[in-house]
Amino acid sequence: MKLLGIQLRPMLVLVLLALFIPFATSAPGGIGEIANDGCLCHGERNTNTQVEIQGLPNSFEANTKYNFSIMVSSQSIPANLDGEIGGFRLLITGGAVGFNSSEGLIQNLENGWTHTETGNAVRHWNLSFTSPSDNASFVDFTVYGNAVNGNQASTGDEWNSVEFRLPGVQYEGESMAGNNDDFSPMDYSVGIVLLLALSFLFVITLRD
């Protein structure tokens, strides 16, 4: 069994490295589809970080433009005004999002919106939302916000999210609102794989 353990250890190391490499670096220049389930490379969701959207109405009129802001704040990670302090990923299911490209703080990336490298130095981003043509419809918003400590890595940062449904003035369906503090399927998948890998390594060590 010792020989078997020696043969399997390099494979196990490669598996662990493959698991951790995608989560090992930060993304000061913005984040794409890899963050569609959350800022998982920065650890678990943390309620010390608050993500807010301000400026949107309780319900929208058709084909109407609304200015809104995404704000990230943290009780435990102060904003270092001389470095990287925050980031976000915004997803919507309808309508259109706009922003002032001359400010250089926001970009469209892989069917969502996120910060730029310049926008990584703030925790407040201004955008606009143009509603769909059907005011009996709805639009779901998902925003992941990250409070960054500026250490050039994914460690020590804390993220959270908010999800809500913005209905049209004639929408009569279900609502969806509030912070999403539950674990996502991706959270559970990564945790289970890591647990199995660590258990396997522990068994091999005992056999040696």
Give the separation between CA 116 and CA 79, rounded to whole angstroms.
17
Between CA 146 and CA 68, with CA 66 as vertex, the angle to 5 degrees is: 25
DSSP 152: S
Can you list the domains of the chain with their CATH numbers?
26-183 (2.60.40.2410)
Looking at 61-161, list the stretches that DSSP marks H as alpha helix, in order from N- to C-terminal side: none
Query: pTM for the complete prediction?
Result: 0.71
CB 89 within 8 A of CB 144: yes
Q: What is the four-CA torsion angle of 74, 152, 53, 90, rounded to 10 degrees?
A: -150
CB 116 within 8 A of CB 87: no
pLDDT (tens digit per residue) in 4-51 = 343 445 444 444 444 444 444 557 888 888 877 876 676 778 899 999
Give the separation between CA 189 and CA 195, rounded to whole angstroms.
10
Per-residue pLDDT of the chain (208 residues; tens, 9 = 90+): 443 343 445 444 444 444 444 444 557 888 888 877 876 676 778 899 999 999 999 999 999 999 999 999 998 998 877 788 999 999 999 999 999 999 999 999 999 999 999 999 999 999 999 999 999 999 999 999 999 887 877 787 899 999 999 999 999 988 765 544 444 444 444 445 555 655 565 556 566 6
Residue type at 197?
A: A
Residue type at 201?
A: L
Give the separation between CA 19 and CA 199, rounded to whole angstroms.
15
Pairing of strands 86-92, 49-54: unpaired
